[in-house]
Amino acid sequence: MPKADSKDMIGIINYGAGNIFSLTAALNRLGIPYGMINEVDEIASYDRIVIPGVGHAGTAMRKLQESGLAASIGKITKPVLGICVGMQLLTTFSEEGDSPLLNITPLKTLHFEGRITEKVPHMGWNKVFHENESPIFDNIKKDAYFYFVHSYFIEYNATFTAAFTQYGLKFSAAIQDKNFYGVQFHPEKSGEAGERLLLNFSNLY
Amino acid sequence: MLAKRIIPCLDVKDGRTVKGVNFVDLRDAGDPVELAWQYSRQGADELVFLDITATHERRKTTAELVKAVARQVNIPFTIGGGINELADADVLLHSGADKISINSAAVRNPGLINQMAEAFGIQFVVVAVDTRHVDGKNYVHLNGGRLKTDIETEDWIKEAESRGAGEILLTSMDHDGTKNGFDCDFLKKINDKLSIPLIASGGAGNMQHFVEVFQESNVDAALAASVFHYGEILIPELKDELRKQGIEVR
């Protein structure tokens, strides 16, 4: 994997939603500089923003509100990438705890359970079919495998879905809404395809 | 559709791999990080580390191992061995582990599964179960399969699932080390009743055994150690064979 050629900084929204060691390790391997965003004023210091997240969407939203960052994220005009629960936060609502979320992209986050007969969580490597020419998938195969771990999914939408995956139903593996991007899978754990995606994001303007 | 996963398992003691490894291009066959990196390059879908370090320094050396792996390796991995309480798991989560596996500690204190699932999410909690046939039934065994319990394996796995296990790693001690194939009948019986992923372990000797375990029991993943470490099965060739047999792999 080539190293990042830009000295631009990624700011990671640091709101205590799970472990970010693997994410920072991947950025280190790729030579992508990054720092932590703990409060609103720090957002302006970075060129691109990543919202990580594992665990419960409602809990993540509460922590984001407590940190005071929730109200500012929707106003960011630089590229933003939400990963896993960080992606779900961009939507209006999650069935997980019936939680209202950031409401940036007009989509809903739904539970797999009761909608599919497959095992839940959806855990492992699945094919991601990108469409709409989203730049985060540059130089990535049309049906590349990425690593998923989740029980809730964002519904498929012809306008906002940047890539879809099939697991009992067709859902959004990635979304794009103007400068806001989201991926349901874990690029930091998805081998070379995942590293390529992080590198692509680090080159976005 | 989800790809079936192939998982090499590495035994580690005091930060070094225990069993011999026979890779041609390894600089240091005892270095778990280099080995893990090689496996990820060959197309392993995931890795399991079983840390059998017994010293009082264990928690620290395990955390250092996990950090070193997480820095280098771009696929998910599970760490098991000696995880007895929430604090053990917490250290490993923040060192970059994707999942932890608990075995005897969960049998002795089943509430540990609930606690861990609640604290870290079910996706972090793998319950490893060692099983052996005794008088026509399957019983959970502890201490690496040496100590029989009176708990029937099927009952325990259902209980682990209901308490919040995110995945089950089932090792058939009757098959482990025989290289005669996985215990497909029992794995199928368990898999049919589970709504969380099941990893098959014990008995892999050749590529056909992997074909059989996926075709006959439909488990989500298959784990093996020595056949990979000694180069008897190469992961790219195994994946080609599985693909040829119509099994979806990455």
Q: At what angle do helices B111-120 and B153-163 cross, to 10 degrees?
A: 30
Domains and CATH numbers, chain A: 10-202 (3.40.50.880)
Contacts A28 to B, Cβ<8 Å:
71
**Is the peptide bond between A121 and the residue preceding it cis, with omega within 30 degrees of 0?**
yes
Residue B20 pLDDT > 80, yes or no?
no
Kindly identify which residue of chain B lies nearest to residue A119, measuring between CA atoms.
B195
Contacts A121 to B, Cβ<8 Å:
122-123, 166, 196
Q: What is the pLDDT of residue A87?
A: 97
Question: Given an 8 Å threshold on Cβ–Cβ distance, is B74 in contact with A191?
Answer: yes
Active site residue B220: no
pLDDT digits (tens, 9 = 90+) for A137-148: 999 999 999 999
Question: Given an 8 Å threshold on Cβ–Cβ distance, is A21 in contact with B2?
Answer: no
pLDDT digits (tens, 9 = 90+) for B112-132: 999 999 988 889 999 999 999
Residue A45 pLDDT > 60, yes or no?
yes
Residue A19 pLDDT > 80, yes or no?
no
Grouping H, G, I as helix, E, B as strand and the rest as coil, residue B115 is helix
Question: pLDDT > 70: what percent of chain A?
Answer: 98
Average pLDDT estimate for B10-27? 72
Angstrom distance (rounded) from CA A154 to CA A148: 13
Q: What is the pLDDT of residue B56?
A: 76
In Å, the largest CA–CA distance within chain A is 46
Contacts A189 to B, Cβ<8 Å:
74-76, 98
What residues of chain B, 109 to 138, have a C-beta less than 8 Å from chain A?
120-123
Angstrom distance (rounded) from CA B82 to CA B71: 22
Q: Is the pLDDT higher at A196 or at B143?
A: A196
Angstrom distance (rounded) from CA B128 to CA B104: 8
Q: Give the one of A120, A126, A150 whose C-beta lies nearest to B3's C-beta.
A: A126
Grouping H, G, I as helix, E, B as strand and the rest as coil, residue B200 is strand
Residue B25 pLDDT > 70, yes or no?
no
What pLDDT band is residue B24 in, cutting at 50, 70 and 90? low
Question: pLDDT > 70: what percent of chain B?
Answer: 96
Average pLDDT estimate for B170-194? 96
Q: Is the pLDDT higher at B190 or at B59?
A: B190
Kindly identify which residue of chain B lies nearest to residue A54, measuring between CA atoms.
B121
Q: Which region, left, alpha or beta, applies to residue B82 given φ > 0 means left and ψ of -120 to 50 means alpha?
A: left
Question: Given an 8 Å threshold on Cβ–Cβ distance, is A121 in contact with B166?
Answer: yes
Domains and CATH numbers, chain B: 5-244 (3.20.20.70)
Q: What is the pLDDT of residue A1?
A: 72
Whether the Cβ atoms of residue A136 and residue A201 lie closer than 8 Å to each other: yes
